[in-house]
Amino acid sequence: MEPSKVFENRSFVERVRGRAADVFFSLLLLLCMLIPFQPRIYKFLQPFSLSLINPGWHLPPYFEVHLDIFISDFVILLLVFYGLKKSLMQWKSFWEGENKFLSLFLLISLASIIHSPFATYPLPYWRWMHLVLPAGLFFLLSRYRIEEGSFSKIAQAVLAASLLECAIAIPQYFLQHSLGLKVLGEPTLMGRHYLGSHFPMSDGSVWIFDRLFYGVRQHFFVIRAYGTLPHPNILGGFMVLGLIMTYYLWGQGKKRGLLSGAIALQVFCLFITYSRSALYAAGFVTVVWVLLTSLKEKKISALVWVAGGSFLLSLGLLYPQLFERGGVVSYNAVAQSSDALRLTVQDVGIAMLRAHPLLGIGFNNYMLAFPTFAQGPSLPATYIHNLYLHLGVEVGILGVLSFLIFCFLVLKKGWEHRQSAEVLTCLCVFVAFLCIGLVDFYPLCAQQARLIFFLSAGLVMSMTRYFGSRQSR
């Protein structure tokens, strides 16, 4: 064959591969922007969901029996399709390095369902698939090399989604009512027989200026901001993601004035969630990111004033509400009662773990087993606010150990390449969600949080591939 034809054939193959990579990356950007906008689609599946219940079972009235789907499911399936087509996902790749412990965790979770009394109930398997799909992001990204310029686009996509979320959550908070954006996933904040997550406030004020300009409001409580997320705590977790990505963009040295405003807006949105775990996690990873970045970039010290000033400004504007909420600037009866319930429920979880140590009670079966182990009928059905104990209860010691080893190996790989701003940024997001998991359960139990968790872990691995290949040149 003539050299010119060989060159033409190679150019054609490279163009095809480049277009495939563009499609994959475009889908990844779309997924990043869709993270907070995940309306739960379940009504058309309602008749089928109810038909799956065995009449002989006595399901608790608070147990969620409906099958559901999310828009992100379809995007991930498209990503998996491209990954399989381009050999990003092969059987052996599931059993290499960190991947094998995630694979083991997923298989043990499946085995826990099969071993449980509800092995014939399809719903736990459906919920398990909603764990597998976001985990598929990690398997894909751990084999996909994202370069520096491309990572900036991911950060910009997350920032755009975060600012849009702020534009919804902040008016929602001041109005103390939903904005009518159910199509984007916005939940109902106030109904005839329902009131969203709130805390008592004697004058109903939502910030310090209410007392100066508006007087006393009609309600004696404050509804926390939800945005389009199912709970304020999850909105807080998403704001942590947006903030860390904004720090990265700020560190690139472009449009710092606008990015400083974006940081202040996101910090305020984080505060009006009144999520204690998200606030503490954001503060911790902000300090870590700034310290590790300033070691090699002295100009980053200006970010301390931007981030610190934003936190102090929001603290001042919302100080009376934070005081009544408790757990941040005070520890009052509201925080004490919340923590007391969580500690009691943790005791219930420990009793479950002792009764089923190896494979647990079955993935997604916690609420089904709760009445059996609850200490009296007066104890409300509440999830264990500790991700690791919650996993131990549902998938047993074997499952939670596999998960912890997976997390440790991702942390280790990220720490070894922390000199890269991209790796450090993703590592901080991952660490933030691991910290949140110490006092909450949603990082692996809510669709939006699962996406962030596995996306950040996958990006750590993807960027270490790029960073490692660049060092070897």
> Cα separation of 471 and 473, whole Å?
6
Q: Within this chain, do residues 13 and 49 fall inside the same structural domain, yes or no?
A: yes
Query: pLDDT tens across 237-290, in order?
Result: 999 999 999 999 998 878 888 999 999 999 999 999 999 999 999 999 999 999
- Expressed as residue numbers, the domain containing 273 is 154-331
Q: Within this chain, do residues 289 and 398 fall inside the same structural domain, yes or no?
A: no
Domains held by the chain: number: 2
Instruction: Compute φ and ψ for 21, nearest 5 degrees.
Output: -65, -40
Question: Helix, strand, or coil here: 41?
Answer: strand
Q: Within this chain, do residues 213 and 114 fall inside the same structural domain, yes or no?
A: no
Q: Does residue 336 sit within a domain?
A: no
Q: Within this chain, do residues 292 and 352 fall inside the same structural domain, yes or no?
A: no
User: Which pTM value belongs to this model?
Assistant: 0.92
Q: Within this chain, do residues 210 and 140 fall inside the same structural domain, yes or no?
A: no
> Cα separation of 221 and 338, whole Å?
16
In sequence order, the β-bridge partners of residue 223 are 198
Question: Helix, strand, or coil here: 255?
Answer: coil
Q: Does residue 104 sit within a domain?
A: yes
Q: Closest by alpha carbon to 291, among 307, 267, 275?
A: 307
Q: Within this chain, do residues 346 and 372 fall inside the same structural domain, yes or no?
A: yes
What string of pLDDT tens digits covers the 473 residues of the chain?
555 554 444 454 444 445 556 888 999 999 999 999 999 999 999 999 999 988 888 888 778 899 999 999 999 999 998 888 877 777 888 898 899 999 999 999 999 999 999 999 999 999 999 999 999 999 999 888 887 688 999 999 999 999 999 999 999 999 999 999 999 999 999 887 889 999 999 888 899 988 777 656 678 899 999 999 999 999 999 999 999 999 999 988 788 889 999 999 999 999 999 999 999 999 999 999 999 987 666 667 788 899 999 999 999 999 999 999 988 888 888 888 888 888 999 999 999 999 999 999 999 999 999 888 886 667 888 899 999 999 999 999 999 999 999 999 999 999 999 999 999 999 999 999 999 999 999 999 999 999 999 999 999 999 887 665 555 44
Q: Does residue 149 sit within a domain?
A: no
Q: Within this chain, do residues 355 and 217 fall inside the same structural domain, yes or no?
A: no
Could you count the other beta carbons within 10 Å of the beta carbon of residue 25?
17
Q: Within this chain, do residues 181 and 32 fall inside the same structural domain, yes or no?
A: no
Q: Within this chain, do residues 138 and 170 fall inside the same structural domain, yes or no?
A: no
